[in-house]
Structure 1
């Protein structure tokens, strides 16, 4: 059996009774509808078939409504391992771009970042090129950037804390830097974080990053390692990201989700979130609104 989870855009409640009844009566194979959280989220259970076709049919019926759709097999939808990208996924910014802003180079660095995330240039040389431009920046500005410029993506804390409360293991895996992933992972509530190390001398960035660089392969390796360590079936894993360096991780996960993603990433992922906040990943696992651990 397939389950299609519909989730309204962040801050909206769009799944009224009329819409759900229209979908149920129009689409063949829909067996039942179950609300997860009022008019915010609902499950549609359907006979096993083509998940992509069901998603396309639902998008047509929704007629461009700001509703995200996650279609997957009902079996093993509840996940036991969650891996997440940080920049532009669990937070709203690219940390390296914010560091570059300190020395007036944000536009130049963000252009390189955008090309790397689209997969137009290789991640590792692009990272080295951007880090070289940061030579001379005091490490002390990181705390200021986190406090004043970094915003958490809505629903992220609830997502991680709810999964952990239900026995899942969570890891923040980033092509960014430990000086950011450390405090940010703690604030959100992850079990662990993995990222790159910025090299510094006397508290001043040297313009270099330590080897080996954590990129696409390292994110995939982290998923494989943590899955094996916890003796999990591949279907029990969940991953989310927005850039080209997330593709291997998303492809290996039981459910790989693209978040506000570049076109190539959105096309390759199992599902995409264009409108909803990160609690959509809880609804996709069958959690109800009452089961979400909120601040």
Structure 2
């Protein structure tokens, strides 16, 4: 079998036998393998014509996205809250992992939490949302938001980390398991090193890269050091680490949720849009809309017995 469709159930729901059976009906032959009881399964197959005669003709070379869409429709994935990822079996276990931080490895946007301390969270969050949707260029939008933070004490950062920032479920298991199997991991963020430093350490990344807030006399100066780490820099980081480690494109995994992640996701062997903005989810090769970050381990073929716990 040369390809695999992985089904992963979201929190509070179960992946049941009827889901697997209906998904298998979309595939030419194949076999199912349980990765996590009631949570994740692999469906191994070799590409061929879709089995459903109601699906519009797609020609002999059926794209993987067509399989994904056909399976998702067959199991009513959105309603069932089940994610579907289809990919080649070869190189599915990745040796380099790059991850966005805000709204990906953590559940919050750090700049929005900083803005809350000066009573400007609604204004800053609105700019953040537009930038992540790709409606505003990232770099000027970041400068605009940072300027509003001028005068904040840098001692606020530990307080925010302790009281407001929550790690995304499954993140530690994802990074620790990949590291245990020889992968290199990097947290690469359009946010700030004041946050990526402690967060990357808490999760277990090898390294982190982000923007540097200018601090003067213990207070934020309302500026960020140039050049700003944004879309192009995330892409460049992936290429740099891949080449430094002598890896091929197929050996890389990247995950993110915003428009500034798109270049990185597109360059990765598998780029995953995680609970992403609509335009990002549509553009990415794979998407996780329901499950937590453990899904990225199941997508690589790890079964529960191989996963290093939180």
Common topology (TM > 0.5): yes
Distance (Å, rounded) in 2 between the aligned partners of 1:248 and 1:21: 36
Render the CA deviation track for 1:116-160: whole Å, top value 9, x for unaligned.
001111000000000000000000000000000000000000000
Specify the alignment match of 2:151 in structure 1: 136
Render the CA deviation track for 1:189-211: whole Å, top value 9, x for unaligned.
00000000000111001100001
**Aligned-pair CA distance for 1:258:** 0.3
Is residue 2:121 matched to residue 1:97?
Answer: no
Specify the alignment match of 2:55 in structure 1: none
**Conserved 8 A contact 1:90-1:152:** yes
Is residue 2:44 matched to residue 1:45?
Answer: yes
**Aligned-pair CA distance for 1:23:** 2.9
**Aligned-pair CA distance for 1:50:** 2.0
Specify the alignment match of 2:32 in structure 1: 33
**Conserved 8 A contact 1:32-1:44:** yes
**Aligned-pair CA distance for 1:47:** 1.4
Number of paired residues?
Answer: 293
Distance (Å, rounded) in 1 between the aligned partners of 2:29 and 2:10: 23
Specify the alignment match of 1:233 in structure 2: 248
**Aligned-pair CA distance for 1:274:** 0.6
Specify the alignment match of 2:59 in structure 1: none
Runs of 4 or more above 2 Å deviation = 21-24
**Conserved 8 A contact 2:275-2:287:** yes
Distance (Å, rounded) in 2 between the aligned partners of 1:121 and 1:234: 29
What 5-or-longer segments of structure 1 have no aligned partner?
A: none
Distance (Å, rounded) in 1 between the aligned partners of 2:19 and 2:242: 39
Match runs of 1:95-244 below 5 Å: 95-244=110-259
**Conserved 8 A contact 2:143-2:224:** yes
Distance (Å, rounded) in 1 between the aligned partners of 2:146 and 2:18: 53
- Normalised by the length of structure 1, the TM-score is 0.98
**Aligned-pair CA distance for 1:11:** 4.2
Is residue 2:69 matched to residue 1:75?
Answer: no
**Conserved 8 A contact 1:2-1:51:** no
Specify the alignment match of 2:15 in structure 1: 15
**SS, match of residue 185 in structure 2:** strand
What 5-or-longer segments of structure 2 have no aligned partner?
A: 48-61
Distance (Å, rounded) in 2 between the aligned partners of 1:53 and 1:198: 44
Distance (Å, rounded) in 2 between the aligned partners of 1:75 and 1:187: 31
What RMSD over aligned residues (CA atoms) do the two structures have, in Å? Answer: 0.9
**SS, match of residue 30 in structure 1:** coil
Distance (Å, rounded) in 2 between the aligned partners of 1:213 and 1:269: 24
Specify the alignment match of 1:57 in structure 2: 70
Distance (Å, rounded) in 2 between the aligned partners of 1:99 and 1:28: 49
